[in-house]
Amino acid sequence: MKRHSLFLIISIVVVFTQGCASTNIANITDVQQFQQDDDEKGIWHQSKEMEYELRNSGFLYPDQDLADYVNRVLKRLVADIEEKHQVNLRAYIIQDPYFNAFVLPNGAMFIHTGLIATLENEAQLATILGHESVHFLNRHSLRQQRSVINKSAFFSFFQMTTAGLGDYGSLARIYGELAVMGTIYGYSRDLEREADQQGYELMLKAGYDPFESKKAFELLYESIKDEKKKIPYFFSTHPKVKERIVSFEKLLANLKNEAPPKFKGEAEYVQHVGRVLLDNARLSLKCNKLEQALKQIERFLKAEESSPEAILLQGQIYALQNKPDEARDLFSAMLRDYPDYSPVYREIGLMVYKDKEYQESNQYFKRYLELSPNAEDANYIRGYIHE
């Protein structure tokens, strides 16, 4: 019993002297010269590796013009802070139809095409970029890591007193991973609200219309509210997106007597983002997100109404939605408007082939092969011709 008491006292001393790391962490903007803390160096190293992996994964969206544009918007928000505090935020775009954006603890920001394709203007994009920038500038990953370690100190103490052994080696590894995961799946409510507020201040200072901040999240909410499958990403989660709407509502309520900036940057956004709408619609189609794909094609067609590529995709979606008449009407109109556009012959041919109207399908397939003899699927189509 005496030995047990002694062990208990030693354990308490160990936990309270070693277990608690300070969560009183200065923001990058609050210090003259930013220097990483010792435990932060590990997180940065891990982030650097992750950034390298993502950059070389083949998942980046191959449009340098768009990447440059997104980075220009980012710099408009944070260039003065970067210069003053010698840090570097940079943005990359990932081909993924799900809504997500995250910043690694070292300042590398990643935005999914699904998110970009849903937003409508530059001010809304600035809202997301501002929010993520604050996670970096306020070192939220380090705060989260230390908070997790401190909260688990009690658990470790409990383990030590019951088992007499604490496996700190493996815990440290897991906490490191948790810290990086936090950047992807979201932080605590307080940290997210802080990112809302200070990100909102960044966009105001950069001259963006603040009312677009709330609209950005309303657009996301509108797109995910009927989603049956749960997506773990922060910007794809109903309650978290709803919280952002409430949060920005409160921030906007404080604007009553001021004259806020008016810049939305709609034309600029459409000019750079147009192609993403079509490419992301294709990705959405692959993931069976047909409604989302259709909305993005409709937006794309508003800007480029004579794109046979987009109209064909629209028809393919109608066919998948079990709307064969709509699909066929669209394809028939395409035959009239774009008589040399080969894929439309293939699409009609396949519809007719599935109805076992082989004579008719043969005609369409042959015309397709005449126009595109080296098409990637030419050998499949040749195989569907019944002589």
Q: SS3 of 263, please?
A: strand
**DSSP at 15:** I
Backbone angles phi, psi at 101, to 5 degrees: -150, 140
Q: SS3 of 91, please?
A: strand
Q: How far is the CB of 285 from other proteins (least distance, A)?
A: 9
Q: How far is the CB of 356 from other proteins (least distance, A)?
A: 12
Residues in the interface with other proteins (CB under 8 A) total 19
384 binds other proteins, rule: CB under 8 A: yes
Closest to other proteins by CB, 177 or 249: 177
Angle at 192 between CA 243 and CA 85, to 5 degrees: 150
Closest to other proteins by CB, 98 or 200: 98
Question: Distance from CA of residue 104 to its chain's centroid?
Answer: 13
Q: How far is the CB of 324 from other proteins (least distance, A)?
A: 14
> Rg of the Cα trace of the chain?
27
Within residues 245-284, the interface with other proteins by CB under 8 A covers: none
Q: How far is the CB of 114 from other proteins (least distance, A)?
A: 12
230 binds other proteins, rule: CB under 8 A: no
Q: How far is the CB of 289 from other proteins (least distance, A)?
A: 8
Q: How far is the CB of 350 from other proteins (least distance, A)?
A: 7
Among 2, 253, 379, 387, binds other proteins (CB under 8 A): 379
Task: Say if CB 229 and CB 223 are below 8 A apart.
Answer: no
Q: How far is the CB of 189 from other proteins (least distance, A)?
A: 28
Piece of 16-24, 68-76, 110-118, 379-387 that binds other proteins (CB under 8 A)? 379-387
Q: How far is the CB of 286 from other proteins (least distance, A)?
A: 4
The stretches of the chain forming alpha helices (DSSP H) are 2-14, 38-55, 64-85, 113-118, 122-137, 140-163, 168-185, 189-205, 211-224, 238-253, 266-286, 290-303, 308-320, 324-337, 342-354, 358-371, 378-383
Within residues 28-87, the interface with other proteins by CB under 8 A covers: 53, 56-59
Among 2, 151, 229, 356, binds other proteins (CB under 8 A): 229
In this structure, how many other beta carbons lie within 10 angstroms of the beta carbon of residue 262? 11
Q: What is the rounded distance in angstroms from the CA atom of residue 360 to the CA atom of residue 348?
A: 10
Structure tokens at 169: 């080696």
Among 189, 225, 250, 286, binds other proteins (CB under 8 A): 286
Closest to other proteins by CB, 134 or 344: 344
For residue 149, give the nearest of 119, 179, 192 by alpha carbon: 179
Q: What is the rounded distance in angstroms from the CA atom of residue 349 to the CA atom of residue 67?
A: 39
Q: What is the rounded distance in angstroms from the CA atom of residue 354 to the CA atom of residue 207?
A: 56
367 residue type, one letter: R
Residue with tokens 């937003």: 119
Q: What is the rounded distance in angstroms from the CA atom of residue 235 to the CA atom of residue 220?
A: 8
Per-residue mark of binding to other proteins, 84-123 (x: CB under 8 A): ----------------------------------------
In this structure, how many other beta carbons lie within 10 angstroms of the beta carbon of residue 6? 10
- Give 19's strand partners: none
Closest to other proteins by CB, 37 or 227: 227
Closest to other proteins by CB, 196 or 347: 347
Q: How far is the CB of 115 from other proteins (least distance, A)?
A: 17
Piece of 36-44, 124-132, 236-244, 285-293 that binds other proteins (CB under 8 A)? 285-293
Closest to other proteins by CB, 67 or 350: 350
Angle at 19 between CA 14 and CA 23, to 5 degrees: 150
Q: Provide DSSP, 216-232.
A: HHHHHHHHHTT--S---
Closest to other proteins by CB, 171 or 378: 378
Within residues 319-378, the interface with other proteins by CB under 8 A covers: 350, 353-354, 376-377
Q: Under the rule (CB under 8 A), what is the footprint of other proteins?
A: 53, 56-59, 229, 286-288, 350, 353-354, 376-377, 379-381, 383-384
